[in-house]
Amino acid sequence: MTRRLALTIVGVVITTLLLAGAGTLGLAAVRARATTVNDLRDQATEIAANIDDILQVDTATTSVEATRQLRNRLKVLNTLRSLMPVDQITVLIAKPDGTLPSDELPSGLTVEQLQPERLAAGETIADNTGRLAYAAAPARGPSGRLFVVVVTRGIDAGLGPAFRLFLWSAVATILLGLAAAYLLGKRLTRPIREASLATRRIAAGELSTRLAEPAVHEHDELAELSRSINGMASSLERSRGLEQQFLLSVSHDLRTPLTSIQGYADAIDDGKVDPKRAAGIIRSESRRLERLVTDLLDLAKLQSRSFSLQLETLDLSAAVHTATDAAAASMPAIAFHPVTTGPLPVRADPDRIAQVLANLVENAARYARTSVLVSARSEAMWATVTVDDDGKGIAASDLPHVFERLYVAREQPERKESSSGLGLAIVRELVHAMGGEVEAGSAPNGGARLSFRLPAAP
């Protein structure tokens, strides 16, 4: 990954440099061309404006002398060229018919490019051809003859030293890009390598493996990856602990009634016990086994979603009274107090609602000292049932996990589920399947409060 990252960064840097260099060279060339043409236009115009002074010849002299004077004047132009930023200054003298001599033109120019018609009309011509910029300005010399001052200069963008500097800068930038890519790649890939190693160790069964916890203010992708892996490891470690506890608990719950059944069967065979009494105990233990197996099957079906619900409109308040009456009959030592505010219609499965209420009420009675309060009320668009006991309550650290399958607190728990430990897990799955929610908290009297709510029927 480090190599791919380095190649990507260097590729981006080189592409950016090429685009920036090409753009810079293009803009510089365009600007140099326009600047050179404008400068030559000004210079040609200025020279043409002073052509009378430069080329003034005494008309009283002989033609030979006039020619000599004109040549001397033209030498002044050569001196002027050395003082001006031009390559060549040429003065063309129009022929009597107005045409310009083509043999005296600077190299690279033609008479057509100078546009004699426009020059004769007094216009100044400035343009470029290839890398040569030129300007031609008309003027009237001695005796009213047409003179054309032509100045030329090669177009130079002036990028010689700048281009070399650009090349050095480009090389330095690429080297810095390589260094940054290497360091960044090492920094980015190290957490990924650590995460990969951690996941392999977790897959091998080392569920206590953890990555270094990111700082609280870090919320980038790598930090979230580390948190996710740590959360996954914690969940797997916890699930394995719950699974082991589940197997131990179920084994114990199976062994206890089986041992009792086997013992009373042997006692009947030996004639050491009243058969009628032994049959009652065996029947009771068999029902205990049946309930455990039923709970296991129910939870398996609920978690695999391989069950169906027969939804219909029912009165949740009436279901609460039915559940408390049944619990009072089987557990006379506990006082059950149903509190309702009137009919609460909900769309639910009657049998599953009865199972949910029975599990919650029996769970509360198991930990209550003297009483259990079951209330049903309407809250906005929900019908809510709360079950309060007057026991020791639930530790705050255990509240988020009460409805997990056979939950046992990581530290010393203040309460634990007995029997199969599946009742509250079944409650959660059933309520969620019917579109509701479950919650665990503390009752006003200090005990535990378990509640659920379902959408109210229209």
Q: Is residue 175 part of a domain?
A: no
In DSSP notation, 101-164 reads PGGGSPTT--HHHH-HHHHHTT--EEEEETTEEEEEEEEE-GGG-EEEEEEEEE-----HHHHH
Query: Which domain does 393 fall in, by range?
Result: 312-455
Structure tokens at 185: 């790649």
Q: Low-confidence residues of the chain, pLDDT below 70?
A: 1-3, 5, 51-84, 141-144, 157-163, 242, 245-246, 249, 252-253, 299, 302-307, 405-421
Q: Is residue 172 part of a domain?
A: no
Of the candidates 434, 121, 177, 452, the residue with the CA atom closest to the CA atom of residue 308: 434
pLDDT for 435 equals 93
| Number of domains, the chain | 3
What count of other Cβ atoms lies within 10 Å of the Cβ of residue 390? 20
Q: Does one domain contain both 321 and 445?
A: yes
* Segment holding 312, helix H or strand E: strand 312-315
pLDDT for 291 equals 75
Q: Does one domain contain both 97 and 47?
A: yes
The C-alpha atoms of residue 253 and residue 297 are separated, in whole angstroms, by 15
Q: What is the pLDDT of residues 82-141, one digit of tens each?
A: 656 777 888 787 777 778 887 778 888 888 888 888 888 889 999 988 788 999 998 876
Q: For 348, left (φ over 0), alpha (ψ -120 to 50), or beta? A: beta
Picking from 161, 193, 226, the residue at the C-terminal end of a domain is 161
Ramachandran angles phi, psi of 329, nearest 5°: -70, -35
Q: Does one domain contain both 300 and 366?
A: no
Ramachandran angles phi, psi of 126, nearest 5°: -145, 130
Q: Does one domain contain both 337 and 291?
A: no
Cα 176 off chain centre by: 27
Q: Does one domain contain both 13 and 152?
A: yes
Q: Does one domain contain both 51 and 143?
A: yes
pLDDT for 416 equals 41
pLDDT for 160 equals 60
pLDDT for 4 equals 72
Place of tokens 């060229």: 81
pLDDT for 78 equals 57
Contact 61/119 with Cβ under 8 angstroms?
Answer: no
Angle at which helices 275-304 and 221-270 cross, to 10° = 160
Q: Does one domain contain both 149 and 131?
A: yes
Taking each continuous run of H as one helix and of E as one strand, the counts in the chain are 11, 11
Stated pTM of the model:
0.48
Structure tokens at 114: 């100078």
The C-alpha atoms of residue 239 and residue 243 are separated, in whole angstroms, by 6
Neighbouring C-alpha atoms within 13 Å toward the C-beta of 65: 6
CA angle 175, 181, 182 (to 5 degrees): 95
